[in-house]
Amino acid sequence: MSDEKALSGEKVMNNKIDSYKRRFLAQSAVITGAAALGGGLVLTRVVQARPASQAVSSKNRWGLLIDTRKCANDCDACVQACEMEHGWGRGSSDEQRSSPAQKAQWIRKVTLRDRTTGHETSLPMMCQHCAHPPCVDVCPTGASMKRDDGIVLVDKHRCIGCRYCMMACPYKARSFIHEDLHGQKTASPRGKGTVESCNLCVHRVDQGKIPACAEACPEKAILFGDLKDADSEIARRLASEPSTEIRGDLRLDLGVRYQNI
């Protein structure tokens, strides 16, 4: 009897261990599953990179928010970073024969002075990546184009160098190449007789990186992000803080916004 009792006690114990095991396994599975699934969800929110096989989507609209209060008058780190990234200006030994008025400038520092008070503001100026870009409208060949994610750029292989886009751009964002170039950067093809401008570092954006200018700014005055993602920092700040479009009267719906002008 006592043996029987002992045996049945052992059985109960074994059953309990089994149920613990089962519960443990089930719980682990749920936790692992949740971690895997949830983690995946979290990851897809964080990682903005898009596989090269996937087409650009209009679900994104890339843009910049530039806080001019943080932009020092004598700093041109953003300009220099752009020059190095795309191989123009100080980032290239080309364009030696072009006059200063003929040399390309993808981004430049502009100083504004209030005529009455004398107050000065400094800001970087580049392609504003309009939602309704006049350069794209006027381009006869379609070389000037806007990607679905809002990036405006030039297909250098289709550009015939008519310069109508330069006439149409309200921001003077474009440059014409006046002479032969050598040693261009792989990611930034450029060429004599064609027009070029800031392309929001499209090659970096496609790799999930931020544009060179935004990365280089020591004061973090240039914020890059997805204007259509309500949770992105740029969208949250644009929703809660005042910002300005340059020549907003033209209703071009710019991808680049400024603060404190």
How near is the Cβ of 118 to other proteins at its closest, in Å?
9
- Choices 1-9, 48-56, 99-107, 221-229; region in contact with other proteins by CB under 8 A: 99-107
- Choices 7-15, 35-43, 44-52, 96-104; region in contact with other proteins by CB under 8 A: 96-104
Q: Kindly tell me which of 176 and 224 has the beta carbon lying closer to other proteins.
A: 176
Q: How far is CA 256 from its chain centroid?
A: 10
Q: Kindly tell me which of 229 and 253 has the beta carbon lying closer to other proteins.
A: 253
Residue 99 binds other proteins (CB under 8 A): yes
Residue 11 CB partners (closer than 8 Å, separation 6+): none
Residue 175 binds other proteins (CB under 8 A): yes
Residue 170 binds other proteins (CB under 8 A): yes
- Choices 5-13, 31-39, 176-184, 229-237; region in contact with other proteins by CB under 8 A: 176-184
Residue 56 binds other proteins (CB under 8 A): no
| ∠ CA 104-133-170, rounded to 5° | 55
Residue 237's closest CA among 253, 219, 207, 259?
Answer: 259
- Choices 17-25, 66-74, 93-101, 204-212; region in contact with other proteins by CB under 8 A: 93-101
How near is the Cβ of 41 to other proteins at its closest, in Å?
41
How near is the Cβ of 261 to other proteins at its closest, in Å?
7
Residue 162's closest CA among 145, 139, 142, 146?
Answer: 139
Residue 192 binds other proteins (CB under 8 A): yes
Residue 248 binds other proteins (CB under 8 A): no
Residues in 127-156 at the binding interface with other proteins, rule: CB under 8 A? 134, 136-142
Residue 174 binds other proteins (CB under 8 A): yes
How would you label 98-124 residue by residue, b for 16+ Cβ within 10 Å and e otherwise?
Answer: eeeeebbbbbbbeeeeeeeeeeebbbb
Q: Kindly tell me which of 7 and 110 has the beta carbon lying closer to other proteins.
A: 110
How near is the Cβ of 101 to other proteins at its closest, in Å?
4
Do the Cβ atoms of 253 and 130 come closer than 8 Å? yes
Do the Cβ atoms of 192 and 180 come closer than 8 Å? yes
Residue 152's closest CA among 125, 175, 134?
Answer: 134
Residues in 208-247 at the binding interface with other proteins, rule: CB under 8 A? 246-247
Tokens representing residue 17 in the block: 């261990």
Distance CA(230)–CA(220), nearest Å, equals 21
Residue 185 CB partners (closer than 8 Å, separation 6+): 85, 86, 87
Contact residues for other proteins, defined by CB under 8 A? 97-99, 101-105, 108-115, 125, 134, 136-142, 158-164, 166-172, 174-180, 192-195, 246-247, 250, 261
